[in-house]
Structure formats: structure tokens, C-alpha cells
Structure 1
Amino acid sequence: MRVLVLGGTWFLGRAVVVEALRRGHDVTTFNRGKTGQDVPGAQVVRGDRSRHGDLAAAVAAGPFDVVVDPSGYVPVDVAAAAHALAARVGRYVFVSTVDAYEDWPHAPITERSPLHECPPDVAWGSLPYGHLKAGCERALAAAWPGELVVVRPGVLLGVREPKGRLPWWLRRMERGGRVLAPGEPERRLQPVDVRDAAAFVVDLAEGRADGPVNVVAPQGHTTMRRLLQACAAVVERNAELVWLPDDALVAAGVREWTELPMWRPAPGTWAVDATRARAAGLVCRPVTQTVADTWRWMKSGQQVAEHWRTAEHGIDPAKEGELLRSWLGEVRPGPGR
């Protein structure tokens, strides 16, 4: 099978390329080459999808059986790719996001839940990421004449993670001491290892199932406690988890999702239906394996191009310490004490 991956050097895109090559497929990547992380074995075509004329180079490298698009988030750019590739590709697998749902993270979600309103001809602007992804889905529905599969991942973790959610927790555990653990310890989380998500995307590219489909782990796959305990165990430091409830964190003005990565008390955050993905073959490895492999990669010294959101993640140590002392009823010694 001949596969074209748009933006195949980033996190999920790279994992898709690696998996497709492992299965013996002929893979071409189309990207700007700014990360310096091309995958050995894949044919490389350089271009910027936001410059629509660059797509001619990808078209010339075809024909392809399928295009996998993990990098599209501007509707007009996605529509341009669809128009350019329509005569040279049979199947389009588009990676959207659960953030495209209008009710996420405030209510439980299924594939039938409504998407955000966003026109399919938006070029740019102040619309949030999830709205733009919804607009991309509409643009493809209007422009793509062949088979279209939409996948909507939730949180992806694992080796080479650019946003730094799991790496931040691992580095925090490495510092040891008392660690502010957020919210309800038994809160059920639904992260998916990027390798498992990539294997599932390649399954879809091979035509084994259709979308739309939510790429999330089943509820009960792990909890916040199990995730943080796995981080503490793998770094082999003396880290003590001190749990602060949601209301205390909200009252203290802790930013959801970023200051304490993956913490958000909204009831729908981790209430995404995974039934279709499981039925279609998504298999999720234990979170302990994801944590261990990510830590091993971090200790190896390998680098990835930083995501623009990396700096958003993590609470300032001074703020964390103050919150812990306040919660535990401790008083910081003043001058002369």
C-alpha cells in the first residue's frame, strides 16, 4: 500500500510513519523539514501545506492508496489538500480531536455528539483549536470525493511527546519531596499511548474500519493515582503524593489542564465513549509501560522540536510549595524565627 502522510515528522504523524513502514507499506511524507526528524525508510517531499502551490510536489509523488493527515487544522488548507490530491488518492484519514465536540469537556461524548460551529472556508483568525478542527472536518466532507475516515483522539502520551504533559510529571517526580497531586485520586483517565493510536490509524488507513471514531482508552484504563504512582516509581526518587481536592485547586486559581497537566474537574473530560474504537481494534497498552518507555527516552538525551504549548505546562515550584503548606496547615517561618 502506498501511503502519503502530511506532516510526518511530528508526534502522531511520525508514529504513523514508523508503524506503516514496519508493516511493509511504501510511505511518503510531506512536510517543511524544520524539525530535522525524518524517518529512515520514508520518501521525503518538502513543502508547506499553507502554501497551496507546494502541494503539487506531493501530487507528483503519487498516486497513493491513502493519505493520512495528522497536521491539518486550518479549514482552507485542508480543503486545498483535498482538492489537490483527490485524483491521486483513494482514501483520506483525517486526524481531528475530541476538542472538536461542542460539549467537550463539559458532558459525556459519543461520535454522535455535535461539533463546534466553524465554517469550512475559514483561513485563519481567533477561533480556538477545537473549532478549527471541526471546520476542517466540514471542509473535507464538502471537498473529498472518495472514502473519508475521521479519527478524534483525546490525550496522546508516550515517547517523543512534544507538548510535555507526561514529561513534566516525570521531571517533577524526579525532584522528589512532597508533590501536589490534583483532584480525585481515583478519577478515571483515558490517555492512549501514541504507538497504539498510530497502529489504529494505520488499521483505518488499510480499510479495516470506518469513522468517525474516538481514539481514547476505555474508562477504567487508568486513574490519576495510578498514573502518578507509575511516574514516581519509574524515576526512583522519594516523592510523596499530597492530594488536594478540586475545589481547593479551583479556589487557589490553579489553571486547569496546564499547571497540573491532565487535571481538569469538568465532568466530561474523561467521559468520552470508546466503544467504537475498541470494536474496531484499538488496543491500549498499560500506562505503566507508556510511563517507563517515556522516561527511558527522556534519559537517553534525545530531543524533539518543542511544541508551542510546552511552556504552558507545569506549576511554579514556589506556588506548589505554598499551596501544600496552606493545605497541610503549616506556617512558613518569618524573619528571625
Structure 2
Amino acid sequence: MREVCVIGGSRYFGKRLILRLRDAGVNVTVVNRGSSPPPPGVTHLVADRDDEAALAAALGDRRFDVVIDQVCYTPRQAAIAKRVFGGRTARYVMTSTMEVYDPATFDAVPVHRRPVAEDAVDPGTWPVDLELPWGEEAFRELLGDAWHYAEGKRQAEAVFSRDPAFAFVSVRSAHVLGGGAEEFTGRLEHYVDRVRAGRAVRVHGEEYASTFIHHREIAEFLFWAAGADFTGPVNANSHGELTATELSEAVAAQVGVGRPVFLRKEHGDDVSPFSFDRYYAMDNARATGLGFAFSAVAEWLPGAIAETVGAVGAGVQV
């Protein structure tokens, strides 16, 4: 691949992906709304992806070997991208999420008691409703951020998958950890702050494991997926699983304090990030069979924690 367009990618592992492409000799074009400039050495186009005419105008007559879409959150955005990039690219990689498997956000998704494979959510058969007010804040507030995010991703995958305008891949990423100051969600910082201060970490009375991936590994996975030739959904997660309790204990070992304090909560109560009351792990066998070599969570977790500890210690808001 010589010409790659990245939609979004202005922060976190998206920025690392752009650098990985650029340093591999790829001509990279970044499309965003202009709020953050991309790294040096790439082409920058400013456009709002929700404005179909503006997006098409910004692209002009450019053609790409691959488009990597980091910021597609709704079926409407997918429909616009499908029309605009149809005929402009042969391959389209969308960064999706393991949240598509979350049974708490849609009754049709089964509760899984073993690592879930890609066929649990088939974008080819998933219902799509383009008439819902996806862009309205009141709609998001009514149904909740979790439903809006998970269902938006499910339906976006469905739009791209039906009557495809190009070879399409949806990368269903596990929870991403690490990155220090680049990590903007604050979820790992939550554990560092509480464990170091001796404050209780709120977890479910009976908690279950989930799957994770390092920020460098998901960037590398997207780079690999862009240059491959398979299609369809693919899970991206490191080998191994973690509970919130195990993550807290790893943080305690890293910062040199005693055993963490836990506050066991009932179902429905507020808990710390990554504490789940249902088994919530993905099966990465498809990606492994296609040739991607995942690391193990145990290999990179200490370093990911150290990055966050360093950023917090330096007074950086993460």
C-alpha cells in the first residue's frame, strides 16, 4: 500500500498509527476537522465527515489504496463515507469496538460465557435505522452513552458490509491501555490514583474478566489489517484476561504499596472502569490464524501502568 487515508487519528493510538504508516514509507493523508494538526510529513485535509459535500470537495480527485476510519460512530457517518469513498479506494478499515458484543446494550446480543468470536454479531444481518437522531445530544442522553456507542458501531459496520463499495474490515478492538499522557479516557489513571492513595476501588461483588490490548499493539494491528487482504469483522485483543481486582493488584505492585482496598458493590451500583458483572472477553483466534502475533497482557501491563504513573507524577492530565 502506497496511498492511505486516515479519517481522524489526531490522538492516542490513532496518532501512533499515522506515524507507523509514515515511517513505513506510506503517503498518508489525514482528514479531520482541523482541531489538531497531524504529525509532520503527512497531507492534512480539513473537513467535517458529517458534511458529505464538504468531505467530497476536500478529497478532490484523490484515490487511496486503503482508508482507515478511526472515528465512525453512527450508521449515518458510515453511509456518507460509503458514498464518498466508493470508487476512491479498494479497501476500507473501520476501527470498531468490543462494545458491539455488550449484551447490556441490546437484547439480541447473547450473554457469553466463553470468549466471544466475531460471528456473535453479524453486520450483514444487523438492523439499521438511519432515521434515528444520531447526532442529537438529547437522543444520546435518553438512551445513554453506552447504548449510543455500541449500537452506533454495530449499525455502522452493517452499513459498510451490505452492498459493499469496497473490501471492508471492522477491527473490533479490546479495551486499550497505556500511553501515559496520550491516554485521554482516564480509566487507568483512576486505578493509579485510588491504589496509590489507599482509596477503595469499587468492584462488583462477583466480577468477571475482560480482554485488553496495548496502545502500541492496536496501532500495529490496524497497520497490519490495512495491508492484508481479508475482509469482515476481526477481534483485536492481547492474549490473557484481567478483572478489575487483578488490574488493581498489578497497579499496587507497580507503585509499591500494599494490597489494594476494594469496596464490593451490588448489581446496578457505580463501579470502577473495567469491573464487569458478566463475562466480557473476546476470542482472537481469527486474527491469530490470519497471521497476526499478539503479545500477552502480562508482558506489557507493567509498562503501561508505569507510563500512567509517570504522567500522573509529572502533573499531566491523562
Q: What's the counterpart of residue 212 of structure 2?
A: 191
Deviation digits for residues 249-270 of structure 1 (CA, Å, limit 9, x no counterpart) = 116x532xxx311001212x13
Aligned to 1:137: 157
Q: Select the residue among 207, 215, 218 that pairs with 2:236.
A: 215
Question: Which AA in structure 2 matches 1:2?
Answer: E
Say if 2:112 is the partner of 1:111. no
8 Å CA contact 2:208, 2:278 repeated in 1? no
How big is each residue's C-alpha offset from its partner over 1:284-322, in whole Å with a ceiling of 9 and x where there is no partner?
A: 352112222333344455567xxxxxxxxxxxxxxxxxx
| TM-score after normalising by structure 1 | 0.76
Secondary structure of the residue aligned to 2:118 is coil
Could you report, residue by residue, the CA deviation over 1:215-242 in whole angstroms, capped at 9, with x for unpaired residues?
1223x35454442233223334x35313
Distance 1:44 1:5, change over 3 A: same
The two structures, once aligned, show a CA RMSD in angstroms of: 2.8
Change (3 A) 1:66 1:122: farther
Which residue of structure 1 lines up, in the alignment, with residue 278 of structure 2? 266
Which residue of the partner structure matches residue 317 of structure 1? none
Measured in 1, the distance between the counterparts of 2:317 and 2:24 equals: 26
Amino acid in the other structure paired with 2:200: V
Q: Aligned partners of 1:302 and 1:6: how far apart in 2?
A: 27
Pick the aligned partner of 2:193 from 171, 195, 208.
Answer: 171
Mapped pair 1:286 → 2:262: no
Q: Does 1:88 align with 2:88?
A: yes
Contact 1:18/1:39 (<8 A) preserved: yes
- Correspondences of 1:120-131 after superposition (within 5 Å): 121-122=130-131, 124-125=133-134, 126=139, 128-131=148-151
- Would you say 1:240 and 2:263 are equivalent positions? no
TM-score by length of 2: 0.80
Q: Residue type of the partner of 1:98?
A: M
Counterpart of 1:60? 60
Q: Which has the larger radius of gyration?
A: 1
Aligned length: 291
Question: Unaligned 5+ residue runs, structure 1?
Answer: 305-337
Going from structure 1 to structure 2, the CA distance change for 1:143 and 1:249 (only over 3 Å counts) comes to same
- Contact 1:203 1:209 (8 Å CA) reproduced: no
- Quick one: which amino acid aligns to residue 111 of structure 1? E
Within-5 A mapping of 1:316-335: none
Shift of 1:184: 7.8
